[in-house]
A and B are shown apart, each in its own frame.
Chain A
Amino acid sequence: MRRLLNIRPKRGGRFFLGFFPLAAVGVAYFAASAARTAANPADKLLPTPAEMWTAVERMAFTVDPVRGMIPMVADTGASLERLLIGLGIATAATLIMGLVLGLLPLVRAGFGPLVAAISVVPPIALLPILFIVMGLGEASKVALIVVGIAPFMIRDLASHVAAIPEEQMVKAQSLGGSTWQIGLRVALPQAMPRLIKCLRLSLGPAWVFLISAEAIASDVGLGYRIFLVRRYLAMDVIIPYVIWISLLAVAMDLILMWLSRRFYPWAHSARDA
């Protein structure tokens, strides 16, 4: 009898194994929602697929006459813009700070404790400060995402760069590499796949911070919308929005994974390819 930890699903089997729990959740939901609607046709808690589809048609395919735009498209655009700007700034900061901190002991001694101190502050607790300092506009929402994910990413990347084997660093120097050349040709390329991995792990928190900021102060955005319609118990809108947010998150994750495999094949062993 093989050990459980040695049994690996094959490609088709993996798809089936992954698909099955998802399908089970869907079926369970539809059954529960059908039962509740049968008992009480006005039930709002578990809307049927048909009810949700009506809501989606209203939110995603119809121009809102008052505001002159399609709500879901406007929400998605606003949220993605905030998210991507926040992720972009955090990634750029991580790349620069992570490399410098990881590569130069002098900078690590100077700024390491500061970064470590910042990264233990719960970002949501900083949100009021950001609102006070930056106002209720776009800047504070983007800033929350940056403050929320950058310290973790910087620390992770810095420790990854610092852990490049000393043998490699000595070899590079013995081949005449300067600090700049070693940063550019040895540390940077080895940091990139890790940065992408780190970004993938940060997508979840980034969405959390985005939705929190939008829930508190906004007039458009996916997070704003679900907290707005919550007042009317509009589960028929909330559930499709949550599914849509999840799909966006999964798409971003897949794109990042593809980028890493495409440009840094050496960082991916044959087994996880």
Chain B
Amino acid sequence: MSILSFRDVWVEYGEKIVLEKVELEVADKSFVSIVGPSGAGKSTFLRLVTGQEAPTRGRVMLDGEPLSPEPGPNRGVVFQRYSVFPHLTVLDNVIFGLDCAGSPLLGRVFGAKRKAAAEQAEALLTQVGLNHSLKAYPAQLSGGMQQRLAIAQALIRRPRILLLDEPFGALDPGIRLDMHVLITELWQEHGLTILMVTHDIKEAFKLGTRVLAFDKRRHDPQAPHRFGSTAVYDFPLTEKTRQVPPELAGLAKEEAA
């Protein structure tokens, strides 16, 4: 069953075509890794789903309905940086989503509601391993802990889709491995559909149930901006095929360089 569909989607900035003719169905509860060279439009593709960007042509559908053109609580996001609130403690960062849901006027729940919200947030923070830093501010956390916080925060409204734009790009290799375990666990437990952009091709193949590679299909040396990218490779993965295929080996090297 597909949760997201892209029907002949184009994104253009004036003369420049970034994405062209994207035709995709994303299955519910799948984990889609997105790779491709820099500037290929991976972030743009994700921004279509968050609602930060509207297609110039074509349609993006969520559960068969046209996607609302604004970010909303059914689509959680985690960026590489800056996605937690520096002025809120760890606990308040996670409660924020419940504050918004529970109090349109004050943006903050109180009393019994607050207690319930704190319990829910603490449970999630325990799951990402941050239950010992509830009162810390983000600036006091390491990069890896900040990303754990960003993930917990994104999950509090129980989104169906989680969008990750190079979420582990700024982390050490060891910390990355921990994060791989965490995100796989959360994906399964929360029944999420995940779209993750990454520059690490091994990570893409290790975590995904499907890998999309974005690149230009055609090239015009005179006017390179007149052709956009699209999903040039689309691999469904099973446990047996979790190896980087030869077609993408070149890309892997390019990324490593």
Query: Which A residues lie at the B interface, using CB under 8 A?
Result: 165, 167-168, 170-178, 180-181, 184-186, 189-190, 264-267, 269
**Contact indicator A174/B77 (Cβ below 8 Å):** yes
Given the contacts A173-B72, A174-B77, A176-B97, A168 and B153 also touching, CB distance less than 8 Å: no
- Taking CB atoms, residues of chain B closer than 8 Å to A167 are 79, 81-83
Whether A175 touches B157, Cβ cut-off 8 Å, given contacts A167-B82, A170-B52, A170-B71, is: yes
CB of B99 within 8 Å of the partner chain: yes
A266 engages B139 (CB within 8 Å) = yes
How near does chain A come to B196, taking the closest CB pair, in angstroms? Answer: 16
Chain B residue at minimum C-beta to C-beta distance from A171: B83
CB-nearest residue of chain B relative to A265?
A: B137
CA distance A93 to B106 in the complex (A): 21
Question: Can you show 8 pairs from A to B with CB atoms below 8 A apart?
Answer: A171-B85, A174-B72, A174-B75, A174-B77, A175-B100, A175-B156, A181-B100, A185-B108
Q: A175-B153, A181-B104, A184-B107 are in contact. Are A189 and B87 (CB under 8 A)?
A: yes
In the complex the two chains form, is B106's CB within 8 Å of A184's CB? Answer: yes
Query: Does A185 contact B107, Cβ atoms closer than 8 Å?
Result: yes
**In the bound complex, how far is the Cα of B47 from the Cα of A173, in angstroms?**
13
User: Which residues from chain A contact B97 at a C-beta distance below 8 Å?
Assistant: 175-176
Which residues of chain B (55-98) have a CB below 8 Å from chain A? 70-73, 75-77, 79, 81-87, 96-97
Contact at A171–B100, with CB atoms within 8 Å? no
* Closest residue of A by beta carbon distance from B150: A171
Q: How far is the CA of A177 from the CA of B71 in the complex (A)?
A: 10
Complexed CA–CA distance, A191 and B226 (Å):
42
A174-B75, A184-B106 are known contacts. Are A266 and B86 too (CB-CB below 8 A)?
A: yes
The CA of A17 and the CA of B234, in the complex, are separated in Å by: 66
How many Å from the CB of B109 to the closest CB on chain A?
A: 12
Residues on A with C-beta less than 8 A from B154 are 171, 174-175
| Tally of B interface residues using CB under 8 Å | 35
Closest CB in chain A relative to B46 CB, distance in Å: 11
Q: CB-nearest residue of chain A relative to B101?
A: A176
User: Are A185 and B52 also in contact (CB < 8 A) when A170-B77, A174-B77 are?
Assistant: no
Are A190 and B82 CB-contacts (below 8 A) given A174-B154, A178-B104? no
B94 to chain A: closest residue by CB? A175
Give the residues in chain B near A190, CB-CB below 8 Å. Answer: 86-87
- Tell me the bound Cα distance from A266 to B75 in angstroms: 29
Give complex CA distance A173, B97 in Å. Answer: 9
Is B230 interfacial (CB 8 A cutoff)? no
Q: Are B86 and A178 in contact (CB under 8 A)?
A: no
Report the minimal beta-carbon distance from A186 to chain B, rounded to whole angstroms: 6
In the complex, whether B229 has a CB less than 8 A from a CB of chain A is no
Most buried by A among B79, B86, B107, B150: B107
What is the bound-complex CA distance between A267 and B86, given in angstroms? 8
A80 nearest CB across to chain B (Å): 32
Instruction: Tell me the complex Cα distance, A61–B84, Å.
Output: 56
Per a CB cutoff under 8 Å, which of B73, B81, B101, B104 touches A174?
Answer: B73
Residues on B with beta carbons closer than 8 Å to the beta carbon of A181: 99-100, 104, 107
B96–A175 CB distance below 8 A? yes
B30 CB-CB contact with A under 8 Å: no
Given A167-B82, A170-B52, A185-B96, the answer on whether A176 and B108 have CB atoms closer than 8 Å is no
